[in-house]
């Protein structure tokens, strides 16, 4: 009788421990993060992406930044995804388009507070691309790198023509000269962006112990390196043409004045 009670107690303790572990995992999952923390994380994830481009050249961030957004959208409602996508896009453009501050403030004779408000407005509007994309992802598509990466390309493509077009900060540009740009001669920057985002999201799945995503990562990297070995153009044996470019030495605030037109 005593042994039976001891055995039952051990089974009960094991079951309680298992339930406790499952509850702990659920409690600490990305989906259960407070919304405010998710917004801050998305804001930072977007803000770091411009560092992948010149002059900084921290190209691994091009994989990390979209992957973080993919992770943070996990199991969110469409409305929550919209807010998270807007936070990501705002961070992206607030940093990536901040150089406009010089044009607005210095050459546009705009006060510093107003110039900052204008930059924030641009970031807010451009963030709508990621916001609508994130909403559509959680509303209509299953959670997968195979749906997130194509949607990312649709967002980049839309930015080339909507509102007259603002085709900046495409992920694929960060990989110029870093192996995976071998996809560019085949299908342009969108192909490079798709591969980078797909690899980043697939890496997230690998950390989730979905190890079958390792194979697509290896294939995508291998094909990219292989494409880089191809020679898409050949040099013609003809005399070289020398070209010189001279930058005008005149302040931008004087450049368009009529009295300086003939001089420049």
Model pLDDT, residue 214: 97
User: Cα separations (Å) of 195 from 4, 165, 191, 218, 226?
Assistant: 59, 23, 6, 11, 14
Q: Report the C-alpha gap between 201 and 64 in whole angstroms.
A: 9
Of the candidates 183, 180, 193, 181, which has an alpha carbon nearest to the alpha carbon of residue 148?
193
User: Which of 6-20, 26-40, 145-159, 233-247 is predicted least confidently?
Assistant: 6-20
> What are the residue ranges of helices labelled H in the chain?
2-27, 35-48, 61-72, 78-96, 100-102, 112-140, 145-158, 184-207, 214-228, 252-255
pLDDT cut 90: percent of the chain above it? 63
Q: What is the pLDDT of residues 156-205, one digit of tens each?
A: 999 999 988 889 999 999 999 888 999 999 999 999 999 999 999 999 99
| C-alpha dihedral sign at 51, 52, 54, 58 | positive
Q: Is pLDDT above 80 for 244? A: yes
pTM: 0.82
Burial letters 238-264, b for 16+ CB under 10 A, else e: eeeeeeeeeeeeeeeeeeeeeeeeeee
Compute and round to an integer the Cα radius of gyration of the chain: 25
Q: Is pLDDT above 60 for 250? A: yes
Q: Where are the domains of the chain?
A: 28-229
Task: Give the rounded distance of the alpha carbon of 124 from its chain centre.
Answer: 16
Q: How many residues does the chain have?
A: 264
Q: Are 89 and 123 within 8 A, CB to CB? A: yes
Task: Give the rounded distance of the alpha carbon of 248 from its chain centre.
Answer: 36
The stretch 216-229 carries a mean pLDDT of: 94
Bigger pLDDT: 134 or 97?
Answer: 134
Q: Is pLDDT above 60 for 211? A: yes
* DSSP, res 107: I
DSSP string, 136-174: HHHHHS-SSHHHHHHHHHHHHHHTTTGGG------GGGG
Q: Report the C-alpha gap between 187 and 108 in whole angstroms.
A: 39
- What SS3 class is residue 190? helix
Q: Report the C-alpha gap between 182 and 67 in whole angstroms.
A: 21
Burial letters 157-173, b for 16+ CB under 10 A, else e: ebbeeeeeebebbbbbb
């Amino acid at each position: 009788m005593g042994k039976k009670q001891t055995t039952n107690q051990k089974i009960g303790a094991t079951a309680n421990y298992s339930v406790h572990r499952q509850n702990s995992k659920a409690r600490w999952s990305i989906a259960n993060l407070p919304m405010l923390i998710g917004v801050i994380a998305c804001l930072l994830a977007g803000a770091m992406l411009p560092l992948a481009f010149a002059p900084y050249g921290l190209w691994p961030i091009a994989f990390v930044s979209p992957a973080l957004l993919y992770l943070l959208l996990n199991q969110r409602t469409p409305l929550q995804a919209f807010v998270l996508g807007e936070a990501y896009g705002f961070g992206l453009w607030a940093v990536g388009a901040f150089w406009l501050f010089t044009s607005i403030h210095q050459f546009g004779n705009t006060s510093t507070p107003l110039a900052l408000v204008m930059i924030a407005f641009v970031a807010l509007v451009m963030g709508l691309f990621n916001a609508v994309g994130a909403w559509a992802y959680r509303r209509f598509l299953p959670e997968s790198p195979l749906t997130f990466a194509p949607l990312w390309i649709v967002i980049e493509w839309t930015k080339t023509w909507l509102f007259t077009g603002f085709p900046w900060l495409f992920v694929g540009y960060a990989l110029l000269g870093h192996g995976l740009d071998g996809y560019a001669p085949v299908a342009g920057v969108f192909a490079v962006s798709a591969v980078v985002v797909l690899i980043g999201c697939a890496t997230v799945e690998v950390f989730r112990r979905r190890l079958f995503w390792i194979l697509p990562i290896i294939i995508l990297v291998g094909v990219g390196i292989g494409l880089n070995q191809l020679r898409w153009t050949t040099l013609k044996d003809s005399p070289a043409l020398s070209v010189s470019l001279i930058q005008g030495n005149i302040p931008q605030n004087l450049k368009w004045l009529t009295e300086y037109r003939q001089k420049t």
